[in-house]
Structure 1
Amino acid sequence: MHVASLAWCGGGPVSMSAVEPGTRLADRFRLEDRVSESGGATLWKAIDEILARPVAVHTFSPEFPRESEVVLAARAASRLTDPRLTQVFDAADEDGTAYVVSEWVHGESLLDLLAAGPMEPERGAVLVAEAAEALAHAHEAGMCHLNLTPGRLMWTEGGTVKLLGVGVDAAILGREADSPEEAEHADAEGLGRLLYAALTGHWPGEDDCGLPPAPLDDGKICTPRQVTAGVPGYLDTIAARILGVKRGPTPLAPPAEVAEALSQVPRPVPAPASTVPPSVELRAEAVDTLHARPVPPPPAPPRRPPGMFSRFLVTLVALLVMAVVGVGAWSLGKSLGTESETPASDAPTTPGAEPAKTVALTPAGAIGFDPLGDGEERNELAPRAIDGSYGTDWHTESYNDAKFGGLKKGVGLLIDLGRDAKLTKVMVDFGDVPGGSAELKLGGEPTPEALTVAASTKEAMGKVTFDLAGSEPSRYLMVWFTELPPYQNRFRGMILDLEITATED
Structure 2
Amino acid sequence: MNGHAIEPGQTMAGRYRIEDLAGEVAQSRTWRAMDTILNRSVGIQTMPSNDARATAFLEAARASTTVLDPRFLRVLDAVADEGGAAYVVREWTRAVPLAVLLRERPMSNRRAATLIGEVADAVARAHEVGAYHCCISPATILVNDNDVVRITGLGTEHALYASGRPDEAEGHPCDEQADVLALGRVLYACLVARWPGGRESGLSPAPTEHGRLLRPRRVRAGVSRDVDAVCDRILGDPPRHDAAPLRSARDIAAALSRVSDDEPEPTGLSPSPAAATGTPTWASSSRATDGSPARGGTGSLPRALVITGVALLVAMLAVLAFYVGRQSAGDGAASDTSDGPKVPASSATAAARPLAARA
| Counterpart residue number, 2:29 | 42
| Counterpart residue number, 1:430 | none
1:219-255 superposed Cα distances (whole Å, 9 cap, x missing partner):
2111011111121111111101100154433532221
Give the secondary structure class of the aligned counterpart of 2:80. strand
| Counterpart residue number, 2:192 | 200
Structure 1 position 167 matched with structure 2 position 155: yes
| Counterpart residue number, 1:230 | 222
| Counterpart residue number, 2:345 | none
For 2:257, the aligned partner's letter is S
| Counterpart residue number, 1:210 | 202
Residue 124 (structure 1) aligned to one of 112, 118, 121: 112
For residues 64 and 46 of structure 1, what CA distance do their matches in structure 2 show? 23
For 2:18, the aligned partner's letter is L
1:126-175 superposed Cα distances (whole Å, 9 cap, x missing partner):
10000000011111122111212112222223541111211111112227
For 2:133, the aligned partner's letter is H
Alignment of 1:291-370 (within 5 A): none
Q: Give the C-alpha shift of residue 26 in structure 1.
A: 1.4
- Structure 1 pair 133–243 and aligned structure 2 pair: CA distance change class (3 A): same
Q: Give the C-alpha shift of residue 257 in structure 1.
A: 1.9
Alignment of 1:265-276 (within 5 A): 265=259
Structure 1 position 26 matched with structure 2 position 20: no
Contact 2:20 2:32 in 1 (8 A): yes
Q: Give the C-alpha shift of residue 207 in structure 1.
A: 4.0
Give the secondary structure class of the aligned counterpart of 1:35. strand
Residue 124 (structure 2) aligned to one of 104, 121, 136: 136
For residues 38 and 85 of structure 1, what CA distance do their matches in structure 2 show? 18
For residues 43 and 64 of structure 2, what CA distance do their matches in structure 1 show? 15
Structure-2-length-normalised TM-score: 0.65
Structure exhibiting the larger radius of gyration computed from Cα positions: 2
Residue 176 (structure 2) aligned to one of 169, 176, 184: 184
| Counterpart residue number, 1:91 | 78
Unaligned segments of structure 1, at least 5 residues: 1-13, 268-505
Structure 1 position 52 matched with structure 2 position 39: yes
For residues 213 and 132 of structure 1, what CA distance do their matches in structure 2 show? 23
- Structure 1 pair 166–16 and aligned structure 2 pair: CA distance change class (3 A): closer
For residues 186 and 26 of structure 2, what CA distance do their matches in structure 1 show? 26
Residue 65 (structure 1) aligned to one of 27, 42, 52: 52
Alignment of 1:365-404 (within 5 A): none
| Counterpart residue number, 1:256 | 250
- Structure 1 pair 234–159 and aligned structure 2 pair: CA distance change class (3 A): closer
For residues 143 and 24 of structure 2, what CA distance do their matches in structure 1 show? 24
- Structure 1 pair 111–74 and aligned structure 2 pair: CA distance change class (3 A): same
Structure 1 position 113 matched with structure 2 position 101: yes
Q: Give the C-alpha shift of residue 195 in structure 1.
A: 0.7
Unaligned segments of structure 2, at least 5 residues: 262-359
| Counterpart residue number, 1:421 | none
For residues 232 and 180 of structure 2, what CA distance do their matches in structure 1 show? 12
Q: Give the C-alpha shift of residue 205 in structure 1.
A: 2.3
For residues 141 and 112 of structure 2, what CA distance do their matches in structure 1 show? 11
Q: Give the C-alpha shift of residue 17 in structure 1.
A: 6.0
For 1:64, the aligned partner's letter is D
% of aligned pairs identical?
A: 38
Q: Give the C-alpha shift of residue 122 in structure 1.
A: 1.3
Q: Give the C-alpha shift of residue 203 in structure 1.
A: 0.8
Give the secondary structure class of the aligned counterpart of 2:180. helix
| Counterpart residue number, 2:328 | none
Q: Give the C-alpha shift of residue 181 in structure 1.
A: 8.7
For residues 182 and 17 of structure 1, what CA distance do their matches in structure 2 show? 28
1:161-196 superposed Cα distances (whole Å, 9 cap, x missing partner):
111211111112227546x99611111010001110
- Structure 1 pair 116–20 and aligned structure 2 pair: CA distance change class (3 A): closer
Residue 140 (structure 2) aligned to one of 135, 140, 152: 152
For residues 223 and 45 of structure 1, what CA distance do their matches in structure 2 show? 39
Give the secondary structure class of the aligned counterpart of 2:103. coil
